[in-house]
Structure 1
């Protein structure tokens, strides 16, 4: 393990190039409960791909593609005998906010007061597992695959959870350092006040307070209630079919994406995630969900007009 001085010097040098990764230290052996806040430290900068380990997937005869890191998740394409599965690891949050009330299918106790809660019948084509720490912090591991059997999806998600736990115990957690003006340095909940959102939506919109600042939601306490969400993501512009941002909203390039009746998103590109890779671009999206309203896009546009000028500046 590098000395503290070497780590600091490397960080200082690499910071000039943008996003860097700093590795943690092994968690002590069977020495008491594992607390999520102690394991992960600064929850906003966790590199979720440092938690992924391909060996448990190989043990179930699955092949894995490259792990792709983003603000909220690590995404891995998994090839199984019955077809493709998309695996995501991320969304650190308080269990009270992130788990599905009343739908748990299985709870598996692990050493050091860890547990795994499985939600394999919540939605067809998905299997959700949550690694729950002793302080109530949990990590979501999800597998999705169109037409895939529930057993296959949960086998993939379960193998991924085993790998995550091994990496945590052996100190392989890593953290990111965001570039100047990265979205990662801005708490999404600071971009709008509840009264501003309510005035645009036309309904009360109390904010949720997630543990990490890369997303925020107002309203939506009930499934049929209006809600607004801001979320940060990464997109590789070399991906075939990459969107064109040919609209102008709030002084920025943007695109409006109708998703369904009463559901609309507005997206805008920001800056490259690192200076070394100009193709991985930070994206901010604002979502408006208005049950009973045929077209939520005018509201989503107004929200973007409010929020975009408050974002960190981009190079001209």
Structure 2
């Protein structure tokens, strides 16, 4: 499984093909423009496409829990840290992913200047906080247990991560990346893949593409594990690799592409197609266009056939992978 998919685990991945709002070749369905007050996401973050989420983290702020280090890039939208706890457990902390504010009113909300921090109820092996802006966008901070004791204080780690991110926002210390003209980060995935192509998948005949707030992802279908879904993401990380027997390296629309049944189990109806672009950072990582298709009721082989077909339509609209 690609590290870009692996870090959340399969149960969450099946449920969290994110949705947000735009229509390729038609009228956009993007979120309303944020209010330009001091607490809006745009006022505090600037250009959402270029935010460097790792500038909102600080491994030293997690010292009371154990040793923390950057876990490498797996997304343009959030920063991933690994925290090795004193009890031997390993926790991952993801900071920075933007989405719509929570729609469950029962969770406590703590005011913090122009911001609000939602203390989400913990789940087994998972705890999260959401930093709410005045325009009702939310910046997510989540702690997930990778190995070890379920009673490892995940909510304390999530709380510390949220406080660090909120401080960076309040002090205007959020940094931004510089992307070249042919970077995937400058490409709107809702314009790369036409909804008419996605609508060929059974169950998605009326689907419209919806972007996430950063503009790095476009999703079609309902946010439900038993519904067909497609997501196209412009992300970054290790170059696409063949990691198991249910993955192949192919050439699609002239681009090297790894097509993979997620998890390697052909009975799982989830497939990804990934192609690299420009180098990203100094450690051999690259920008990656990642297409994920879920077709519940079918097989991973079926999902991969759809993924190949959609990649063949999308890849020609990506910038050429040359400096």
Q: Structure 1 residues 47-56 or 155-164, which shifts more?
A: 47-56
Determine the structure 1 residue equivalent to 2:285.
280
1:120–1:126 contact (8 Å) kept in structure 2: no
Which of 53, 61, 65 aligns to 2:65? It is: 61
Q: CA deviation at 1:174?
A: 0.6
Distance 1:210 1:297, change over 3 A: same
Distance 1:238 1:267, change over 3 A: closer
Determine the structure 2 residue equivalent to 1:267.
274
Moved over 6 A (4+): 241-245
Determine the structure 1 residue equivalent to 2:199.
198
SS of the counterpart of 1:190? helix
Q: Structure 1 residues 242-251 or 44-53, which shifts more?
A: 242-251
Q: Deviations over 1:72-95 (max 9, x none)?
A: 111111111231111111222332
Q: Using structure 1 for the length normalisation, give the TM-score.
A: 0.78
Equivalent residue pairs, number: 275
Q: CA deviation at 1:206?
A: 1.9
Determine the structure 1 residue equivalent to 2:100.
94
Determine the C-alpha separation between the residues in 2 that align with 1:266 and 1:211: 23
Query: Counterparts in 2 of 1:1-316, with a 5 A limit?
Result: 34-58=39-63, 60-66=64-70, 68-69=72-73, 70-82=75-87, 83-95=89-101, 99=102, 101-102=103-104, 106-122=107-123, 124-146=124-146, 147-149=148-150, 152-201=153-202, 203-204=204-205, 205-236=207-238, 246-259=249-262, 261-274=268-281, 277=282, 279-295=284-300, 296-315=303-322
2:132–2:139 contact (8 Å) kept in structure 1: yes
Distance 1:159 1:285, change over 3 A: same
Q: Using structure 2 for the length normalisation, give the TM-score.
A: 0.77
SS of the counterpart of 2:215? coil
Distance 1:130 1:144, change over 3 A: same
Q: Structure 1 residues 73-82 or 297-306, which shifts more?
A: 73-82
1:143–1:154 contact (8 Å) kept in structure 2: yes
Determine the C-alpha separation between the residues in 1 that align with 2:248 and 2:158: 35
Q: Deviations over 1:175-199 (max 9, x none)?
A: 1110231111101111112222102
Unaligned runs of 5+ in 2: 1-36
Determine the C-alpha separation between the residues in 1 that align with 2:114 and 2:197: 42
Determine the C-alpha separation between the residues in 1 that align with 2:248 and 2:278: 14
Q: CA deviation at 1:315?
A: 2.6
1:37–1:137 contact (8 Å) kept in structure 2: no
Q: Deviations over 1:114-170 (max 9, x none)?
A: 222233444x32212111112111101111113442552111111111111111112
Output the aligned Cα RMSD.
2.7
Q: CA deviation at 1:227?
A: 0.9
Distance 1:148 1:198, change over 3 A: farther
Question: Which structure has the larger Rg?
Answer: 1
2:277–2:321 contact (8 Å) kept in structure 1: yes
1:200–1:303 contact (8 Å) kept in structure 2: no
Distance 1:181 1:265, change over 3 A: same
Give the structure with the higher percent strand.
1
Unaligned runs of 5+ in 1: 1-31
